[in-house]
């Protein structure tokens, strides 16, 4: 059973629908107490980093997530969930969970014809192997919607990248945590494969 964290950051039902389609059991939880004892956690979200952190703290989800991370429970962050696992976000100048050292800057692009948010399908290239990315093939694309991106301090935490004028991290990880900036639940068969891989991942890097 996967527990999906609800912290009022966007529509979680699309993640749940994707897991339902794959016959992967899941449940939506919204407090630290409900999260405790999870076998596996998905941490999704769209929206504002500072607001999201405030809600996580209010519901003691930050504490329960930290415990889960330390206990080695597999965790998948999606979109905003891939940003606030870092130590800081420039969005609202907020301290974040700090499971991975790093920051989330906003795109600052020279080519003004490139739009922000970065919204649409874009190619993701793996930079080191990971179980969750095991089906990734050359040319595989995922659906993105974001204005900020995760930038770990240590390159070794980057598992895949994407190009949008700059090359930015699209998938990051550390120990039993893996996080993707794109939306696997909206990325067709290739995205569903990634979710299935997460459901079978033992949490080893």
Per-residue binding letters, 88-127, with other proteins (x by CB under 8 A): ------------------------x--x-xxxxxxx----
Stretch 124-153: interaction string toward other proteins, x if CB under 8 A: -------------x-xxx-x-x--------
Q: Please list the active-site residues.
A: 79, 183, 185
Distance CA 26, CA 159 (A): 26
Q: Residue 159: phi, psi to the nearest 5? A: -110, -20
CB of 8 to other proteins, least distance (A): 13
CA distance 52 to 162: 25
Question: 143-167 as b/e, with b when 16 or more CB fall inside 10 Å?
Answer: bbebebbbbbeeeebbbbbbebeee
Nearest residue (CB) to other proteins, 2 versus 65: 2
The reply to whether 50 sits near other proteins by the rule CB under 8 A is no
Tell me which residue has tokens 């107490």: 33
**Least spacing, CB of residue 188 vs other proteins, in Å:** 5
- Strand order across the 2-5 sheet: 26-29, 2-5, 40-43, 75-78, 177-180, 166-174, 158-164, 118-126, 141-146
Between 12 and 41, how does the x/- string for binding to other proteins read (CB under 8 A)? -xx--xx-xx--------------------
Q: Can you give the binding site for other proteins, defined by CB under 8 A? A: 11, 13-14, 17-18, 20-21, 46-47, 112, 115, 117-123, 137, 139-141, 143, 145, 164, 185-192
């Amino acid at each position: 059973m996967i527990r999906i964290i609800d912290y009022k950051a966007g529509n979680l039902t699309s993640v749940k629908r994707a897991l339902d389609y794959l016959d992967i059991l899941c449940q939506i939880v919204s407090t630290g107490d409900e999260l405790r004892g999870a076998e596996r956690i998905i941490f999704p979200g769209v929206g504002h980093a500072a607001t999201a952190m405030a809600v996580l703290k209010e519901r003691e989800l930050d504490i329960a997530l930290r415990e889960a991370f330390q206990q080695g429970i597999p965790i998948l962050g999606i979109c905003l969930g891939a940003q606030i696992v870092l130590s800081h976000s420039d969005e609202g100048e907020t301290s974040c969970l700090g499971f991975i050292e790093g920051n989330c800057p906003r795109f600052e692009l020279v080519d003004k014809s490139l739009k922000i948010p970065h919204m649409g399908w874009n190619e993701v290239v793996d930079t080191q192997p990971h179980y969750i990315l095991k089906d990734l093939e050359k040319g595989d694309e995922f659906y993105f919607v974001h204005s900020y991106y995760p930038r770990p301090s240590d390159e070794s935490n980057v598992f895949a990248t994407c190009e949008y004028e700059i090359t930015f991290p699209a998938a990051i990880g550390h120990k039993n945590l893996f996080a993707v900036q794109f939306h696997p639940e909206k990325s067709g068969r290739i995205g569903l494969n990634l979710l299935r891989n997460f459901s079978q991942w033992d949490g080893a890097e």
